[in-house]
Amino acid sequence: MKMTFRWFGPDDPVTLAYIRQIPGMYGIVSAIYDVPVGETWPLAKITELRDTVHAAGLALDVIESVPVHEDIKLGKPSRDALIANYAQTLRHLGAAGIKVVCYNFMPVFDWMRTTLEKRLPDGSTTLAFDVDTVANINPDDGIQLPGWDTSYDAGQLRALLAEYASCDEARLWENLEYFLQRIIPVAEEAGIRMAIHPDDPPRPIFGLPRIVKNREDLERVLAIVDSPANALTLCSGSLGADTANDVAAMVREFTARGRIPFAHMRNVKVNDKGDFHETAHRSADGSLDMAAIMQAYSDADYTGYIRPDHGRMIWGETGKPGYGLYDRALGAVYLNGLWEGIRRAKGVA
């Protein structure tokens, strides 16, 4: 198992030097953030990022994310040119030694929360999602929630939602199949594993289709192109926001098949209505048994990449909510501690 940490580039207040000091840290998960979605990432920018990370004593094996343009998700005529650009980005990433690319196929937004600063009893703040808040929003009046892409103004957002009105789950599945059938052969040639991230949260919102929500959806994605290059980013927090999902069982199944090169470890506290908030990584703090999930990875002798996902904001830290240094560092150490204890109990290193 290789422990990694998300880094948002030179402007990130969480520096590579800080990350390097976290015990057991193998590498960085990052991306190119100044190239518009749909354009090819220049090889020079990728190698510059790689060399910066390597100079800090860390590996750069995983890219998160290479965004998929909305025109590809919608199946518009422009998708072929955009897919060609995506393919060239993969070739450049492969040439730079990248091994895994995390991506998602969520319409319009990558994730959504209703607040970034839910205050917990211990005084920390965290990301949270409230079902009723979302249900009471009329998208025609504008949407102002964390996770919604603020690069769209109100008019653009209305137009985009109107386009998705004719794109149901069946159509979105067709468009994902079209994308993967063209991209996975390129990924194979480039030595890259494409690892799709589940929907976050794993349910329809504002009538937009969501197709990567549960075990059956994950299985369907992998069946589109039966190749090790067509794989999963197994996110415990995204899938765990639906209490019907047995995350540890999914880990056991899909690691046994060699289809999880990258994992997000995040704990969430979920109620019966579907409201949830993110917690410290400990099993005792959330609804997920993180020890059981790590046990499942250990039983598979997992050699892929794991990163502590969103953390609380603690000890007065400010910055990008969910991505402070302190609680994610605690999460990394906790996960490494679980791993070491489980491996020692089995008599393996």
Check: CB of residue 216 under 8 Å from CB of residue 246. no
Catalytic residues: 197, 235, 264, 309-310, 323
**Residues 6+ away with beta carbon under 8 Å from 153:** none
Decide if 236 contacts 281 (C-beta within 8 A). no
**Sequence-distant (≥ 6) Cβ neighbours of residue 339 within 8 angstroms:** 1, 294, 297, 298
d(CA 314, CA 246): 29
Instruction: Yes or no: say if 148 and 188 are a contact pair by the CB < 8 Å rule.
Output: no
Q: Which of 107, 117, 116 is nearest to 139 (CA)?
A: 107
The strands making up 276-278's β-sheet, listed across from edge to edge, are 115-119, 125-129, 276-278, 268-270
- Write down the residue that tokens 């917990």 correspond to: 120
How far apart, in whole angstroms, are the C-alpha atoms of residue 210 and residue 33?
A: 25
Contact 223, 245 (CB under 8 A): no
For residues 268 and 81, what is the distance between their CA atoms, to the nearest angstrom? 39
Prior bond of 121 cis (ω within 30°): no
DSSP string, 33-96: -SS-TTSPPPHHHHHHHHHHHHHTT-EEEEEE--PPPHHHHHT-TTHHHHHHHHHHHHHHHHHT
Torsion angle of C-alpha atoms 271, 272, 273, 274, degrees rounded to 10: 60
d(CA 185, CA 105): 18
Neighbours of 227 (CB within 10 A): 16
Contact 202, 103 (CB under 8 A): no
